[in-house]
Structure formats: C-alpha cells, structure tokens
Structure 1
Amino acid sequence: MASFSGYLPYAFALIIAIPFLVLLRQFVHSYITLKNQEIKLLSVKSNSENKAHSYERMTLFLERMKPSNIIQRFDKDLAAHEFIFLTEKTINDEFEYNSSQQLYLTKGSWKNIVDSKNALIDLLHKTYDGLNGNTNLEEFKTIFLMNYMEGDDYIAATIEDLRREILIIT
C-alpha cells in the first residue's frame, strides 16, 4: 500500500486536471471553428468585391471606348491613319491591362466585351477604307460617328448586360 500512497497526489492532480483539459480542448476547437467560418465569410465577401470591381473596370473600359469619347482623344493635327493607329493601340493596351478581369466575369460577358472591342476597331478601319484615305481627321471622325450610330449600339448593349449581371451577383 505504501507504493500506491506515493502516487495518490499525482492521481488527485490528474483527476482535477482532466476536466480543465477537456474544457480547454472544447474552447480551442470552438475558437478554431469560428476562425474558419470568419475566413470563409471574408473570402466570399472579398470574391464578391472582386467581381463588382471587375464589372466596374470593364464598364469604364467600354465607356472610354465609345466613339463619342474616342474622337475627343489625341491631337487635332493628326492624319486620319495616325488617329486610327493611336486609337487602336490605346484600346488594345487598355484591354490587355484589364484582361485579368475575365476571371470574375461570365464567359458571355467577356465574349461581348471582346466582340465590342473588335467591332469598334473593325469600324475604324472600314470607315477609313470607305473614304479611300482621302479625308482630313475631322471629316473622318464625323463619318466614323455616323457609321457607328447607323448600326447597333453594341457597346451600350454590352454595358447593359454587365449591369444586369452585377445586379444578379450582388
């Protein structure tokens, strides 16, 4: 019995420590669970913010690409072909800068944006080709605007599609 009585203080300490260890384990487990839920909530919030930001950036890109805004860019002393070159370069540079936004947009929206960009660049070239290169810049801009207005307003349609989608997402 002498050997058992030597372990009695340790057994008593163990009996007292077990409930505290169980409570500590439950506390740590619930704390970790709450932190994981918080991280998930923040990632969902961050993802929806990224999506909203992407829709805003691409809407701004489309607004800047509207012919009424394009014709106001660059020096008035340029030749029409120089204006087309600089405009196309600017559009393509800005498009490449924003190309990472496709991660947050639907495939349909991204396709509409690409199609709008390409259609506008095509219209620039078709307008110039239709004039056989024999025009000054102001004349070219006027005819370019008229050609755009005669067709479908695909840029406004794409912006409207983006508006509808962002309302569904948020």
Structure 2
Amino acid sequence: MEEKIIEGLAYALPAIVTGGVAYYMLSVFTKKENNERKFEAFINKKKESLPVKLQAYERMLLFCERINPAKLLVRVSPIGEDVTSYLHLLIANIEQEFEHNLVQQLYISDDSWKSILTMKLAIISKIRKIAETSEKASILREEILVYYSKEENPTDTAAAFIKQEVRKLI
C-alpha cells in the first residue's frame, strides 16, 4: 500500500510542478500582454488628444491677445464720454471673450487655467481702479494705455506661461 502511495506521488509530483510552472509562465505572459495593450491604448489616446489640447492652448493665447488692454481699447471705442458706461462696455467685452473660451479649461492644465483667470481678474481690477479717477471715457483710455506702457502686462505673463506649457506637450 505504501508503495502505491509513493508510486502515485512519484507520478503526481512532476505533473503538479509542471502545471505550476505552466500556470506561472502563462500568468506572466498574460500580464505582459495586458500591460502592452494598455500602453498602446495610452499612446493612441495621447496622439488623438494632442491636437485638441494644442487647439485649446491656441484659443487661450488668442484670448490673451484679445483682452490685452492696448488691443482691447483699439477694438472697443467709447460710445460717449461717460466713464461708467465705457467701463461696463470694456468689462462686458472681456467677460464675453472669456465665456466664449470657457470650455477650453477641459483641455489645458490647471496651472494654465489659473494663470488665465488671474490675468483676467487683474486686468478688470486695474481698469476699475483707473476708472475711479477718470473724468471722461477718452481720459480713461489714455490712462489705461499709459499704465500698461509702463507696467508689465498680465497678458504677457499668461501668454508666456501658455507657451511654456505647450513646449512641455510637444
């Protein structure tokens, strides 16, 4: 009886070891294949999303240029000499541009979006501050232009940040 048990183990043990090795090799191969598929899917996703991301950065760079105070004042002329009306017109124009590009935040980095929001708020805040001391819309325009000719423009800072982000993508 003992001999039959030992004989059975002699046949079973190599079969169990062979089965274990085959199972281990098959699981390693399967994991490797899954990782390769995931990596290929990731690469394909990156290739497909890159043009969309670049387009979003382009749009936000254009937004920076459109709300650049010097260019904004050339594009948006005062209707009359009322400072408050002109101030509201300028801010409405900035907000309209911003709302037009709001969805781009899905495709750009959080840091880029924060940079753009900071730029927008800084420009609006400075225009409001200058408007407090201006008597006419034409004087407001001049004072804004003079201020931004002497001080660093937030749009330049945001544009530089966007360009830096794009360099990281490419």
- State the TM-score, normalizing by the size of structure 2: 0.70
**2: CA distance, partners of 1:81 / 1:126:** 12
Aligned residues: 133
**2: CA distance, partners of 1:76 / 1:87:** 9
Instruction: After TM superposition, list the pairs within 5 Å mapping 1:20-169 onto structure 2.
Output: 42-78=44-80, 79-131=82-134, 134-135=135-136, 137-169=137-169
Shift in Å, 1:40: 5.8
Flag structure 1 segments of 5+ consecutive residues without an equivalent: 1-33
Cα deviation code 1:38-90 (max 9, x no counterpart): x7655322211111001000000000011111111234432322221111112
- Secondary structure in 2 aligned to 1:72? helix
**1: CA distance, partners of 2:59 / 2:47:** 18
What is the one-letter code of the residue matched to 2:107?
Y
- State the TM-score, normalizing by the size of structure 1: 0.70
**1: CA distance, partners of 2:151 / 2:114:** 19
State the percentage of identical aligned residues: 25
What is the one-letter code of the residue matched to 2:47?
K
- Secondary structure in 1 aligned to 2:140? helix
Whether the 8 Å CA contact 1:123–1:148 is kept in 2: the answer is no
Name the Cα RMSD after superposition: 2.2
Stretch moving more, 113-122 or 93-102: 93-102
